[in-house]
Amino acid sequence: MGTITLQNIRQSEGLMEALVPLKSKLEEKLNLKEYKAENKPISISNNLLQRLTLSAGLSLSNKRTLGEVEKIAISKTGLRIHETTFSRFDLQDTWSALLKLRYNHLDIDWSSASLKSRIINYEMLQGLSFLLENDNLDNWLNVSASSLTKSHSTIPFLNLTIGSYEDDIPANLNLNGRNIPNTQILIAGATGSGKSNLLAVLMSEIRGLTVESAYPVNFLFFATQPIATGSPFLKLTKIQS
């Protein structure tokens, strides 16, 4: 079996609320009581919390059972865990290997999206319980507050990967480099030429590069569409992860 794909993983009921005590505990440990004007307090992102609890859960060697996993109630709202939770730092193969290790005694259908979502949420929730017990969080942490402050306060560099040229040479779009004086973009083309797909790629790239920074990017679109008379009307669409 190849790498277990971790995409479209749905959240369990109450997952984000359950993570709040850990978020508060982490921020209390990592933040100073006072900050100068040029510094910002650290705010722990949901992605980081989910990745931390997943790591902690998979580190536990207790024997998993399908009965416990199937008790996890998946959110009826369809909320999903952002895929950068798993793709950050190119750890997909590591997550896959750890999941196979912990569930190798069970006959798991890893192509089942619902079962895979329950397993991921189960690991996060048991990791959360572990980290909130006794001094486990202190023993688990092995990071410096100074490095976190730098990564969370710096505006992310938006050098987007939008495709490739011949011979698989990557095609990049630099949106906010210092050598770029203007970042206005026009996407034009005939019907079916790929304008919408390119826009989706740009959104995904921007979101992936900023979601765990202090400057996450949301999107507000104004799109014109023709009506029967041929005159355009304005349609407002807000896309927010």
Is the pLDDT assigned to residue 116 strictly greater than 70?
A: yes
**What are the beta bridge partners of residue 220?**
238
Report the pLDDT value the prediction gives residue 106, as an integer from 0 to 100.
94
CB 11 within 8 A of CB 75: yes
The pairing of beta strand 159-164 with beta strand 170-174: antiparallel
pLDDT digits (tens, 9 = 90+) for 32-65: 776 666 667 778 889 999 999 999 999 999 999 9
* Structure-token match 């369809």, residue found: 78
Higher-pLDDT residue of 157, 101:
101
Q: For residues 53 and 131, is the Cβ–Cβ distance under 8 A?
A: yes
pLDDT value of position 237: 46
Q: What is the pLDDT of residue 168?
A: 75
CA distance 221 to 238: 6
Close Cβ partners of 165 (under 8 Å, ≥ 6 residues apart)? 171
pTM of the model: 0.63
Residue 16: pLDDT over 90: yes
Q: What is the CA radius of gyration of the chain?
A: 21
- Residues 6 or more apart from 60 whose CB is under 8 A from it? 126, 127, 130
Residue 206 predicted with pLDDT over 80: no
- Going from N- to C-terminal start, the domains of the chain cover 15-152, 155-239
Q: What is the pLDDT of residue 184?
A: 73
